[in-house]
A and B are shown apart, each in its own frame.
Chain A
Amino acid sequence: MQIFPKPLNFLPLVAALGVAAGGGVVTFVFVYYFSPSNLQVGYAPEQPVPYSHRLHAGQLGMDCRYCHANVERSGEAMVPPTQTCMGCHSQVRTESARLAPVRESWETGMPVEWVRVHNIPDHAYFDHSVHLAAGVGCVSCHGRVDRMEVVTVQEPLSMGWCLDCHRNPDDHIRPISRITDMAWTSEDATEAERRQMAGLLARAVPPENCSGCHR
Chain B
Amino acid sequence: MSAADTLPRPAWGAPALAVMALAMIAGCQGQTSAEPPIVPVRNMHELPRYDAQEASPYFADGRAMRPPVPHTIAREMEVDEAIDTGVDVEGDYVLSIPEAVVARAGGLEDLTRRGHERYDVYCVPCHGGLGDGNGMVPEVSGVGTIRPPTFHDDRLRHAPDGQIYATIRNGIRNMPAYAHNVPVHDRWAIVAYVRALQVNQADGRTAALEPQTGAGR
Listed in ascending order, the chain A residues whose CB lies under 8 Å from chain B are 5-8, 10, 14, 25, 29, 32-35, 37-46, 59-63, 65-66, 69, 75-76, 78-81, 83-84, 86-88, 90-93, 109-111, 113, 116, 121-123, 152-153, 177
**Is B181 an interface position by the 8 A CB rule?**
yes
State whether B38 touches A62 (Cβ < 8 A): no
Contact bitstring B28-46, A, C-beta under 8 A = 1, else 0? 0111111111111001111
**Is B53 an interface position by the 8 A CB rule?**
yes
State whether A87 touches B176 (Cβ < 8 A): yes
Given known A-B contacts A78-B52, A78-B53, A123 and B37 have beta carbons under 8 A apart: no
Q: Is chain B's binding surface mostly helix, strand, loop or mixed? A: loop
Given known A-B contacts A42-B31, A66-B125, A92-B146, A7 and B44 have beta carbons under 8 A apart: no
Given known A-B contacts A5-B6, A42-B31, A88 and B53 have beta carbons under 8 A apart: no
State whether A10 touches B32 (Cβ < 8 A): no
Give the total number of A-B pairs whose CB atoms are below 8 A apart. Answer: 121
The one of A38, A59, A91, A116 that contacts B29, using a Cβ cutoff of 8 Å: A38
Chain A residues near B146 (CB, 8 Å)?
88, 91-92
Some 24 contacts from A to B, beta carbons below 8 A apart, are A10-B3, A33-B29, A35-B29, A38-B29, A42-B32, A43-B36, A43-B37, A44-B33, A60-B125, A60-B137, A60-B140, A61-B124, A63-B124, A66-B122, A84-B180, A93-B141, A110-B62, A111-B62, A113-B62, A116-B53, A121-B46, A122-B44, A122-B46, A122-B47
A123 to chain B, nearest CB (A): 4
Contact bitstring B153-196, A, C-beta under 8 A = 1, else 0? 00000000000000000010010110011100000000000000
Chain A residues near B117 (CB, 8 Å)?
177
The one of B33, B53, B124 that contacts A79, using a Cβ cutoff of 8 Å: B53
- Tally chain B residues at the interface, Cβ within 8 Å: 50
Given known A-B contacts A42-B30, A69-B181, A110-B61, A61 and B51 have beta carbons under 8 A apart: no
The one of A40, A59, A79, A84 that contacts B136, using a Cβ cutoff of 8 Å: A59
**Is B121 an interface position by the 8 A CB rule?**
yes
State the CA gap A92–B141 with chains docked (Å).
6
Chain A residues near B44 (CB, 8 Å)?
121-123
Chain B residues near A10 (CB, 8 Å)?
3
Chain B residues near A25 (CB, 8 Å)?
19
B210 to chain A, nearest CB (A): 31
Point out which of B31, B37, B46, B63 has the most chain A C-beta atoms below 10 A from its C-beta: B37
**Is B10 an interface position by the 8 A CB rule?**
yes
Chain A residues near B120 (CB, 8 Å)?
63
- Name A87's closest neighbour in chain B (CB-CB): B176
Chain B residues near A37 (CB, 8 Å)?
29-30
The one of B34, B53, B62 that contacts A45, using a Cβ cutoff of 8 Å: B34
State the CA gap A59–B137 with chains docked (Å).
10
